[in-house]
Each structure stands twice: as C-alpha cells, then as structure tokens.
C-alpha cells in the first residue's frame, strides 16, 4: 500500500511519499524549520515562505517530496 501525505501552507502543498524516501536528510539540513523528523508532524510548511519550500522540495534526490497543486473552493452561498 502506497502512503501519500499532503502538507499545505495555503500557497504550496508538499506531497510526501515515505516509501520513496532514502533518508538523505537534504530537506532537514536545508530547511529544518519545515522538515524536522524529531517533531510531529515532521513537515510544517507554515514555518517558511513558499519559495524556500519549493527550492528544497525540488532538490529532493529520491522524489519522496514533490509539490502538489493547491485548490481552493469558494464557499457556497
């Protein structure tokens, strides 16, 4: 079973596929305020601006981290 988790700051959504993770720790080294395996949840995108998050996610060597699309729905009137 493939586990896929989504974490959003309202502007960008981080998609995490733990089965692909090779634990290089690039995310933690480059943006520890967002990616910290010592806390739950270990991904907290509200702790950094979207540009920094995008740069770190795109540098993920395994593809375990990727970017998803944010969708907003207007409330029904």
Q: What are the pLDDT digits (tens) for 9-49?
A: 999 999 999 999 999 999 999 999 999 999 999 999 999 99
DSSP element (H, E) containing 4:
none
pTM of this structure? 0.85
CB 34 within 8 A of CB 47: yes
At 76, the pLDDT band (50, 70, 90 cuts) reads very low
Given this model, what pLDDT does residue 77 score? 47
Q: Which 8-state DSSP code applies to residue 75? A: P
Tokens representing 45 are 């995108």
Better pLDDT: 69 or 55? 55
Cβ within 8 Å of residue 66, ≥6 positions away? 14, 15, 17, 57, 60
Longest dimension (CA), the chain: 47
* Of 27, 25, 23, 6, nearest in space to 15 by CA: 6
């Amino acid at each position: 079973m493939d586990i896929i988790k989504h974490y959003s700051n309202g502007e960008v959504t981080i998609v995490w596929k733990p089965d692909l993770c090779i634990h290089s720790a690039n995310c933690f080294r480059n943006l520890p305020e967002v990616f910290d395996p010592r806390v739950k949840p270990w991904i907290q995108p509200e702790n950094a601006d979207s540009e920094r998050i995008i740069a770190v996610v795109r540098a993920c060597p395994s593809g375990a981290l990727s970017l998803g699309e944010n969708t907003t729905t207007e409330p029904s009137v």
